[in-house]
Amino acid sequence: MGNALRFLYGHCCKPSAAGDSDSLGPHGVSAATVGVSALAQDLFSFEITSKVPEGLSNHVASSRKAQANWYRKLLVAWRESNPPPKTPEEASRLVVQTLKRHHKADVEGLLAFYGLPLPHTLVETTAEVPVALPQGVVFEFHTLPVDARAVADGDTVTVYVSTSDPRESCLVPQEVQIAALERSEARAHRDYARADALHKSIVDAGYRVIPVHNEEVLARKYRIRLRGIDAPEGGMPYGNEAKEELAKIVQGKCLRVLVYGEDRYGRSVGDLYCNSLFVQKLMLKKGMAWHYTAYDQRAELAKWEKSARAKRIGLWASPNPEEPWEWRKNKRERR
């Protein structure tokens, strides 16, 4: 069952050029993007099954019993790390430190199995100033390709994040991991009724198994409320146009999401980037949304709304369009 979790991996960053094959690790994907997640998934699989991955013995000389001992130590170290490793270098350092009393050849073989840097290639560097995230960002993630049907309106979309993401891999409830494994096995035995029942339990827990590039990926569901804009509601003029515009921007794309927190409806409030383009900027400049000044004072949002107003495009073709927040207020009062 050690390989049963391979279907959990996302493939938004799968290499496509022929020359990329040189960088492929034993898992068939770029070690630079997936090696860390492969190790994380195998550790959590070991916690459930007590089995080490198939194929590891081709890279190390020690027995399966010794290998299991490594994974027990690594599982403890991984869970105690805060935050958990996110880069290949961080993962390599955790493995080297945790298994420092074990044979050098075995440690290097384990690292090679995951395509992680070997000890002699690790270089201690001084901390560099990272590209600054906007003030208030709590965390960020990258989504799987977005389904256009997941766009609720011009400022709300449902996205899914692969549990192979280093941050997400630590948060998957054990019952979801077990259900995903059992569902995979049920489908392999063509027991589709049981597989469907298990998938329902996964969905009820806020996850879903999604087909990506002919493989199945276990993913976590997030409802995203675009920060700083307010699009017309469905029953308002330009409500449908705003929804269609957002769907056109994000359909089939992997998005970068910067999350600031949650709103009162449990949605993650965030900035969306699609192919490095700021989605809120596109919606404002096309006249498909208002700058929501009650919750976001960023000057650039006001500038982009002003530009669309001046050109009288989108909803600004009307001389005095009704604001969504006023429309919602009046609707509540009528009730």
Kindly report the length of the chain. Answer: 335
Question: Tokens representing 333?
Answer: 């009062």
Cis peptide before 319 (omega within 30 of 0): no
**Residue for token digits 């920060």?**
227
Residues ≥6 apart with Cβ < 8 Å to 166: 36, 37, 40, 84, 85, 86
233 part of the active site:
yes
233, 245, 256, 305: the catalytic one is 233
Which of 152, 309, 302 lies closest to 232 in space, CA to CA? 152
CB burial readout 236-274, b (16+ within 10 A) else e? bebbebbbebbbebbeebbbbbbbbeeeeeebbbbbbbb
93 part of the active site:
no
194 part of the active site:
no
Residues ≥6 apart with Cβ < 8 Å to 195: 183, 186, 187
d(CA 18, CA 32): 16
6, 225, 227, 256: the catalytic one is 225
CB 271 within 8 A of CB 280: yes
Catalytic residues: 225, 233, 267
